Chain A
Amino acid sequence: MKPLPDHLRTILQQHGVEERDVFAWMECDRDPDGTFRNRWLALDAQYLYVLTDPRPVADKTFQGYVFPRSPKKEATVPPADVQVERTPVENIDSVFVVHLVASGLIAAKCPEEKVLAAFTNAQMREAAQFVRTFEKWKKGERPESRQDDERESIRACPTCGMPYPEKDRAVCPKCMKKHALFVRLLSFAWKYKRSLIWIIVFMLLNAGTGLVIPYLMGTVFFDQALGGTGRFAGQIGLVIALILLFRVLSLLFGIAYSNLNARMAANIAFELKANVFSAMQRLSLSFFQQRHTGQLMTRVNNDATDLQYFFVDGIPYFIVNAINIIGIITILAVLDWKLTLLCLAPLPLVLWVVRRVFPKLWRLSWRRHRRMSRLNAMINDTVRGARVVKAFGKESQEIGRFQRANESFSQVEQSFNKLGATVFPALNALTQAGGLIIWALGGYRVMHGHLSFGDLMSFIQYILMLYGPLQFMNNIVNWWSYCMSAAQRIFEIQDAVPTVVEKPGALHLEKMRGDIEVSDITFGYEPNKPALKHVSMRAEPGQMIGIVGHSGAGKSTLVNLISRLYDVDEGEIRIDGIPIKDIAMSSLRKHIGIVSQEVYIFMGTIAENIAYANPDCSMEDIIRAAKIAKAHDFIEKLPDGYDTMVGSGGYALSGGEKQRISIARAILHDPAILILDEATASLDTETELQIQEALEKLVRGRTTIAIAHRLSTLRNADRLIVMDRGQVVEAGTHEELMTSGGMYAKLVKQHYEALKMKGVG
């Protein structure tokens, strides 16, 4: 058990309760009156104690909050203030949790229901644990000292020890801040260091040769060659040849770096997309269900492209432009430092504008990104639901919906472009104001003999060369924020941890007998909404278990948990006597096969689709599996046979055909445990009968858990489990359940009546 806080220990001691006697306690943090108030529940062998701090909490910090500086120390509660109420355990029938929206109540039945305390969502797990301990104690079982969840240990950052803001996401924002995004991005670029170095070398050579030209064209040409002084006096041809030579060299270096850059760009884009895609595949099912498909697609494509710019246009140009700026300013200062200072006078004004306007531009760009994601998600939605849209004749409504989303995107796009279109030219004008200063003051200095005409010409050309790099630096803020937000989103995917994690040293099972034992499991997709409550069941090797119940009863959730697509919140599932959390994912996937109502046909040939689980199998294996699945005949009728391309853009298979392919896939997979999740629900009766035969062949010799809406399909089941609202309400053989006359008997009656109405059966 987690040790009692000091003040709680003191108060309990004042009431004659020692810490060693307490076997469960929890903290509740809200009051039914709508404020936050601390209340603690503690349980010993005789009493359930409710300790209440009468003062409302005026300052509440929720789980996961990271203070920018070290937080104020919380004041401990003086024991005298706390009110203690105790109820003898023998007077309490049960303790239970009432699930509210985003919070909960813990109540007792004694024998009237009574609210003990209220708590916010973060305490939900603790409350469930408290209730379980109480139940065990009531049943006369010795409640084991409370064990912290085994995952608790990985819920704190190993570097700083701070608990992760989200229990299931091992990202520590405090530590992540230290490793700034930029450093992380650079480490990615490190792989391409050779290409990068060559690119930068060629860029520097290109810039260096380019820097010589204005000097040759100004000072050397006008003052020396034409003016008849210095080394190049009268040698116009030589000066022109030199200008030409440097131009050619600059051009060649330019071509060299552009070529290298193009190659690196393609590689980086490829690798970034592959990286994000594989990071996504690693994640658990819940990740995909929490996010819009549109958002994810934008993420893989746009963000990877934005980051590509970072490596390709960003790093090399930044280095070269920075060196260019330094180089040009040095040359200018050597030529005439006073004039240089004057030219740079508008710069502070430019920087001020950048600082003022760019945050606004950044906000608009974020708004644009958000609206674009929404627009994409909407298009995706309508295209997928085209059939429903047409069937209800709601095309114009959809057009309206699209127009609204499009309009809101277009509005923000316009604002963004307008602001950009105003700010950038204004910045350009400001930077170029330096040019006018040179003409005015430079001309004056030439007239008074303080500056040669050639030097003025060089000066003007250098100043013109300075604008490009300066403009780049101006835009860099904008570009930088694009890249950093893209990097942040991509790293978020890379850092997200799967909610279902394999234990280190998990067992790899060569063979599985298929003995499934589900003991007292509770699970919710959201913390306060249990989809399954205290479910237990058993399937012995080779048995077929049928699960029946209304939709939403928790049937699919149960099989999702058996195949460990999610982890149970409470209780345990064992396969062959081993808890599934101890079995390697690869073993689970290898030995558990699923045929569900949602059949997914991938892009590829029929043969590839059948061989999905086992790509190395022989052609004969594929045909054999297709024959058992009753798919062989229809495949043979197709002009391209097993080579027929299916999936998006390929041959359109009917529902029954797709289902038969998925059964063939499962046959080839040859799992010890087979899950049939409404495998025939979407098919017509005739197709269903054909598939039923295929399924019967498939289930032979395997432990099968079959969910079916049509009860007739479960006639071969060894045992049936009836579920309602997340609980098992009946279990037994068909005959037993019919005799007991409960919910199953009622469902069967309804089923046959429905069939009679349809004229079937």
Chain B
Amino acid sequence: MTSDIRFLHRENAVFASSPGGMLSLRVDDETYPVVYLHCSFPHSEPERYISVRLPDDKEVGMIRSLSDFGGQTAELLREHIRIRYFAPAILSIKSIREEFGYSFWEAETTAGTCRFTVRSGGGNVKTVTDKKLLITDVSGNRFVIEDIGKLSDREYRLVEMCM
């Protein structure tokens, strides 16, 4: 099977951060002032197969792996992936109150203490990999538990009732 994927790597692509905080790209002889990164497997392989797209959603190419780029560029790309897939990771759960169709969560996250509301049912608390749990609140904000196995018994009991 022939592939028509245009892969970007350190030999043909240069990524840079624009003064306005956007990601720009020069690939071969073309320059793109703004590009966005879309992970093909945001949960299972967030650093592999990253689609580089223009604001009008056209794909410029794909990055096979962030390791195809040098340390600084890889870190820049990682930063832009984090901007796009912003989801505070839950470090510990203080409480989950379940009341009449909603669960009210209070948790310590990588972005500080967060209190949010999750609608019960409808797949708002779901496992996206063997270990990772994705929680979507009533406004569509996302939170993750990176390894559900690392939760304490008490935390697991609380989370399980919302799954």
> With A36-B112, A171-B100, A363-B157 in contact, is A63–B36 under 8 Å at CB?
no
Stretch at the interface among A114-122, A444-452, A695-703: A114-122
**Given A101-B42, A103-B86, residue A62 in contact with residue B139 (CB < 8 A):** yes
A462 to B160, CA, bound (A): 44
A527–B111 CB distance below 8 A? no
Instruction: Let me know if A146 is at the binding interface, CB within 8 A.
Output: no
Given contacts A291-B122, A526-B140, contact A105 B83 (CB under 8 A): yes
The 0/1 profile, CB within 8 Å of A marked 1, for residues 131-163 of chain B is 000001111111000000000000001001101
CB contacts (< 8 Å) of B142 on chain A: these are 101-102
CA distance A171 to B138 in the complex (A): 13
B18 to A113, Cβ gap below 8 A?
yes
Whether A62 pairs with B115 at a CB distance below 8 angstroms is yes
CB distance from B136 to the nearest CB of A (A): 7
Using a Cβ–Cβ cut-off of 8 Å, how many residues does chain B contribute to the interface with A? 48
Question: A200 CA to B39 CA in the complex, in Å?
Answer: 64
A62→B111 contact, CB < 8 A:
no
Select which of B55, B84, B97, B100 is within 8 A of A68 by beta carbon.
B97
- Interface-facing stretch out of A51-59, A304-312, A335-343, A655-663: A51-59
| Interface: B82 (CB within 8 A) | yes
Q: Which of B2-10, B19-27, B60-68, B69-77 contacts A (4 or more CB under 8 A)?
A: B19-27
Whether A58 contacts B113 by the Cβ 8 Å rule is yes
Q: Which of B42, B102, B104, B161 has the most CB of A within 10 A?
A: B102
B31 within 8 A of A: no
| Interface presence of A64 (CB below 8 A) | yes
For the complex, give the distance between the alpha carbons of A113 and B84 in Å: 17
Contact of A35 among B100, B112, B140, B161 (CB under 8 A): B112
Tell whether A30 is near chain B: CB-to-CB under 8 Å: yes
**Chain B neighbourhood of A757, CB < 8 A:** none
A36 touches B111 (CB 8 A): yes
Interface residues of A in 163-184 (CB under 8 A from B): 165-166, 169, 171, 173, 176-177, 181
Contact pick for A65, options B85, B111, B116, CB 8 Å: B116
Q: Tell me which residues across on chain A come within 8 A of B113, comparing CB atoms.
A: 58-60
Interface 0/1 of B20-49, CB less than 8 Å to A: 111000000000011010000010000000
Asked whether, in the complex, the Cβ of B83 is within 8 Å of the Cβ of A118, the reply is yes
Q: Which residues of A contact B112 (CB under 8 A)?
A: 35-36, 56-60
Whether the pair A64, B139 counts as a contact (CB closer than 8 A) is: yes
**A interface residues, tally (CB under 8 Å):** 57
A290 near B86 with CB under 8 A, answer no
Contacts of B115 in A (CB 8 A): 60-62, 65, 67
Given A113-B22, A176-B100 in contact, is the A60-B111 Cβ separation under 8 Å? yes
Binary per-residue interface labels of chain A (357-380) against chain B in the complex, 1 for a CB within 8 Å, 0 otherwise: 000000100110010000000000
Check: B14 CB closer than 8 A to any chain A CB.
no
Q: Assess whether A98 is in contact with B36, with CB atoms less than 8 Å apart.
A: yes
Contact with B along A78-120 (1 / 0, CB 8 A): 0000000000000000000010111101010000111100101
Which chain A positions have C-beta within 8 A of B97?
A: 68
Determine if B101 and A107 form an interchain contact, defined as CB atoms under 8 angstroms apart.
Answer: no
Q: Which of A2-23 contact B (CB under 8 A)?
A: none
Quick check: is A650 within 8 A (CB to CB) of the other chain? no
Nearest chain A CB to B82's CB is how many angstroms away? 6
- B129 near A: Cβ within 8 Å? no
Contact of A122 among B56, B110, B120, B141 (CB under 8 A): B141
Question: Would you give the shortest CB distance from A488 to chain B, in whole angstroms?
Answer: 6
Does B114 belong to the interface (CB within 8 Å)? yes
Known A-B contacts A60-B115, A363-B161; the reply to A113 vs B33 at CB < 8 A is yes
Determine the chain B residues whose CB is within 8 A of the CB of A488 once the complex forms. 100-101
Q: Is A102 within 8 A of B136, CB to CB?
A: yes
CB distance from B120 to the nearest CB of A (A): 8
A295 touches B121 (CB 8 A): yes
Contact A32 B102 (CB under 8 A): no
Interface residues of A in 61-77 (CB under 8 A from B): 61-68
Q: Which residues of B contact A166 (CB under 8 A)?
A: 119, 138
- Contact for B104 among A56, A65, A169, A290, CB less than 8 A: A65
Q: A165-B117, A171-B101, A177-B100 are in contact. Are A115 and B110 (CB under 8 A)?
A: no
Contact at A113–B34, with CB atoms within 8 Å?
yes
Asked whether, in the complex, the Cβ of B100 is within 8 Å of the Cβ of A107, the reply is: no
Q: Mark A472-516, 1 if CB is under 8 A from B, else 0.
A: 000000000000000011011001000000000000000000000
Q: Give the chain B neighbours of A34 by CB distance below 8 A.
A: 82-83, 86, 88, 110-111
Partner of A63, one of B19, B84, B139: B139
A112 touches B100 (CB 8 A): no
Q: Is A725 an interface residue (CB 8 A)?
A: yes
Known: A34-B110, A62-B116, A295-B121. A370 touches B163 (CB 8 A): yes
* Shortest distance from the beta carbon of B66 to any chain A beta carbon, whole Å: 17
Residues of B within 8 A of A363 (CB): 157, 160-161
Query: What are the 7 A-B residue pairs with the smallest beta carbon separation, nearest first?
Result: A114-B20, A64-B117, A115-B21, A122-B139, A62-B116, A58-B112, A121-B140
Q: Can you offer 13 A-B residue contacts whose CB atoms are under 8 A?
A: A32-B83, A35-B112, A60-B115, A61-B115, A62-B137, A68-B97, A113-B22, A113-B33, A114-B20, A118-B86, A120-B86, A363-B160, A367-B160
Assuming A100-B85, A114-B21, A173-B100, what are 7 further A-B pairs, CB within 8 angstroms? A68-B97, A100-B84, A101-B85, A114-B22, A115-B20, A120-B139, A488-B101
